[in-house]
Structure 1
């Protein structure tokens, strides 16, 4: 990653190694084990790794509260409390004593059936429980499909900007990554010409994140259909990351990529983490949309089962609660969450326009984020977006993710999924910070 963060991490690790050598003496040269550098390299480009580095820059003497505008976890804020029905479902499943044993590696049947029925409501065909594989959050779902697709010489097409865990996991699995751009001037639509130009006989899949992380965009039906047609033309499958499904508040409704499963095979990854505001519950799914049976014929389904056979399962009592959560959550809970997100997104968009060195190409319409361009030529004393974010954390106790972490250097990803009052405070601090560091006229 082209950022100070990577240099700092490397320097810190080197310092720790030198210290260990001094404490252990020359005898350490005889040990035959060593850490896996691929793991440390992969973890350096995760959102969590970058945010941890930014937190280290906070001023411990600062009296003001930290404003977390860097990650998509609003669960700590009262406005984003999950529904009591979900909490009761977890308690009931746990107390029933029916879910204390091991789960099937693909998930217990009632939970798989509930996910299939839940997702089928938005599709022109019905999913089978056999199309559903339960995972430890959406993270394990994407980990599964990336690992399944990895083979010598293969490559995968990822959006830029995008969610860096795909790149980290692909790198660890020796799956080559090629990036296609999302176009800010076109509401962050996929550059389909670039997808075709990047693809070759070794390309296996492309990733589409909708609603968008980190851009806050929502793809329209016609554009998603073109994505499907392009993938079919290239002979690749589409991985649809829909962890923010239905969290939309603009003109474009959420359209699941699975609608186009008859055009091209689709793998959808999702979870209850974002829509129910419970990322710590770690319950997700990987779903095959494949009416033509191509994924089965190509061995993808068997490979997914093989991956799950050698990894951990989501907690069985969590799976036991899924049917109640998916089937009976009251509609007004979702309405309230979406309304709160819309209010916060509007505050974010309006306040950003007051900061001269930051430009927002389009108003967010979904998910919990917005991407803004940082004009460093209007500021003094900053090398890049990572430097900006480190100093912002130190001087204002505001955490914002540098764009380089999601693939766009000298941009910022701002989370608006927090209490409106805290968001307003954080953006006011950012405005003051930028004014303080503005170039003198």
Structure 2
């Protein structure tokens, strides 16, 4: 390299450094944001181990294996919307009138009042619905109550918007019910929301009416609105019925988030919603609905094709479709629960009642060289090509989350490998 070229390269590096120092071309809040589940799943590149193909029991996508398929009514509605060429443009930022009305009509029969289109915001999936609710309620010095274990994206969005996270525990031996005494202690004048997930990700629990009534009573007494994550609404197969928390909204305002990804098996449609259950107008007076409207105007809305197909999906899906899906999920839950009971070092104190997950407790003392759930999950992937998520992703140590929305033959094979893995590392071996 010539002396001139060397000097030019040196000056170029100095110029670039000065540019970065002056302009600070980065966002600290973005760089600090984390979605632990996506981070883990997208970083995993698990090669086949000893000729064993990868079996993922990690991602909550019910469509990944192809055995659970969208209802034909949804497919027909999407095809008709596409062929009409009437839904290729923009629509109202909060969703088309028809889509919002379909969501309102679908949910109204289970509530003590009738919803209108003005009570609904259509979002880009349920994750954005959660994001917008947190953003709309975030104020300087605010805190929110989050479940532990819980869906990690709650924490991600809270931290992004400068909201302090306060964690309340779910009790494994009581069907993962909320420790309400702890909740009462955690709440103060700066608590702007209490996030509840029912049916639960990651626990698979479904709360009884009596427990939901106690939740509503605590929220009413403390004057704290609830963000109710109900993306798994009606996906129940145990003895507990699903009851929307908005049923109690005459006592406490509820922002319900949901969507089509799970129950209708179309996560790629990216369509969710926020239901503002506020019959007393408490949130309206606080301008929360106005804040939500301003937020959705920033993103211009979700796919108009998905919105056009919603009426057909919500109102014309036959009951047989739901029954078949729940039958498959229940069989998966029973298989997992049965297999766990036969493996030394693993335990499951509660049979799942809904959703598509089972939480399995690990006794690190039963295994050699496996001192944590992260080590358990990592080595299981390395040795047996079976992917599960460690409890650390959900804020709880020495547990793993297993997805049972999996074909029975693959689920059996996965548990065969897990059992061999546990036996291989057992201190009793």
Structure 1 residues 420, 26: CA separation in 2 closer, same or farther (over 3 Å shift)? farther
Which of 369, 379, 395 is the aligned partner of 1:391?
379
- What is the 5 A alignment of 1:55-66? 55-56=44-45, 58-60=46-48, 62-66=50-54
Q: What is residue 326 of structure 2 aligned with on the other side? A: 338
- What is the 5 A alignment of 1:206-355? 206-355=194-343
Runs of 4+ in 1 over 4 A off after TM superposition: 24-27
Counterpart contact for 2:204–2:358, Cα < 8 Å: yes
Q: Give the superposition deviation at 1:62.
A: 4.8
Counterpart contact for 2:365–2:371, Cα < 8 Å: no
Structure 1 residues 84-107: Cα deviation after superposition (integer angstroms, max 9, x where no partner): 221111110111111111010010
Partner-residue secondary structure (3-state), 1:267: strand
Q: Give the Cα–Cα distance (whole angstroms) in 1 for the partners of residues 327 and 318 of structure 2.
A: 15
TM superposition score normalised by structure 1: 0.92
User: 1:52 and 2:55 equivalent?
Assistant: no
How many residue pairs get aligned? The number is 416
Counterpart contact for 1:79–1:340, Cα < 8 Å: no
**Unaligned ranges ≥5, structure 2:** 1-9
Q: Give the Cα–Cα distance (whole angstroms) in 2 for the partners of residues 36 and 199 of structure 1.
A: 31
Q: Give the superposition deviation at 1:34.
A: 3.2
- What is the 5 A alignment of 1:129-208? 129-208=117-196
Q: Give the superposition deviation at 1:60.
A: 4.9
Counterpart contact for 2:90–2:300, Cα < 8 Å: no
Which of 95, 98, 114 is the aligned partner of 1:126?
114
Q: Give the superposition deviation at 1:280.
A: 1.0
Q: What is residue 11 of structure 1 aligned with on the other side? A: none
Q: Give the Cα–Cα distance (whole angstroms) in 2 for the partners of residues 138 and 189 of structure 1.
A: 23
Partner-residue secondary structure (3-state), 2:169: strand
Q: Give the Cα–Cα distance (whole angstroms) in 1 for the partners of residues 175 and 349 of structure 2.
A: 8
Q: What is residue 3 of structure 1 aligned with on the other side? A: none
Counterpart contact for 1:208–1:240, Cα < 8 Å: yes
User: 1:108 and 2:99 equivalent?
Assistant: no
Partner-residue secondary structure (3-state), 2:274: strand
Q: Give the superposition deviation at 1:38.
A: 2.6
Q: What is residue 368 of structure 1 aligned with on the other side? A: 356
Structure 1 residues 61, 192: CA separation in 2 closer, same or farther (over 3 Å shift)? closer
- What is the 5 A alignment of 1:372-383? 372-383=360-371
Partner-residue secondary structure (3-state), 2:110: coil
Q: What is residue 77 of structure 2 aligned with on the other side? A: 89
Q: Give the Cα–Cα distance (whole angstroms) in 2 for the partners of residues 74 and 244 of structure 1.
A: 12
TM superposition score normalised by structure 2: 0.94
Q: Give the Cα–Cα distance (whole angstroms) in 2 for the partners of residues 38 and 70 of structure 1.
A: 27
Structure 1 residues 319-346: Cα deviation after superposition (integer angstroms, max 9, x where no partner): 0111111110111000000010011110
**Unaligned ranges ≥5, structure 1:** 1-21
Which of 16, 39, 43 is the aligned partner of 2:30?
39
Counterpart contact for 2:37–2:393, Cα < 8 Å: yes
Q: Give the Cα–Cα distance (whole angstroms) in 2 for the partners of residues 312 and 274 of structure 1.
A: 24
Q: Give the Cα–Cα distance (whole angstroms) in 2 for the partners of residues 51 and 62 of structure 1.
A: 21
Q: Give the Cα–Cα distance (whole angstroms) in 2 for the partners of residues 248 and 25 of structure 1.
A: 60
Counterpart contact for 2:70–2:265, Cα < 8 Å: yes
Q: Give the Cα–Cα distance (whole angstroms) in 1 for the partners of residues 15 and 124 of structure 2.
A: 41
Q: Give the superposition deviation at 1:46.
A: 2.6
Partner-residue secondary structure (3-state), 1:80: coil
Structure 1 residues 285-325: Cα deviation after superposition (integer angstroms, max 9, x where no partner): 00111111111011111011011111241111110111111
User: 1:413 and 2:401 equivalent?
Assistant: yes
Counterpart contact for 1:70–1:401, Cα < 8 Å: yes
Q: What is residue 14 of structure 1 aligned with on the other side? A: none
Structure 1 residues 181-219: Cα deviation after superposition (integer angstroms, max 9, x where no partner): 011111111111111000111001101111111000000
> Which structure has the greater CA radius of gyration?
2
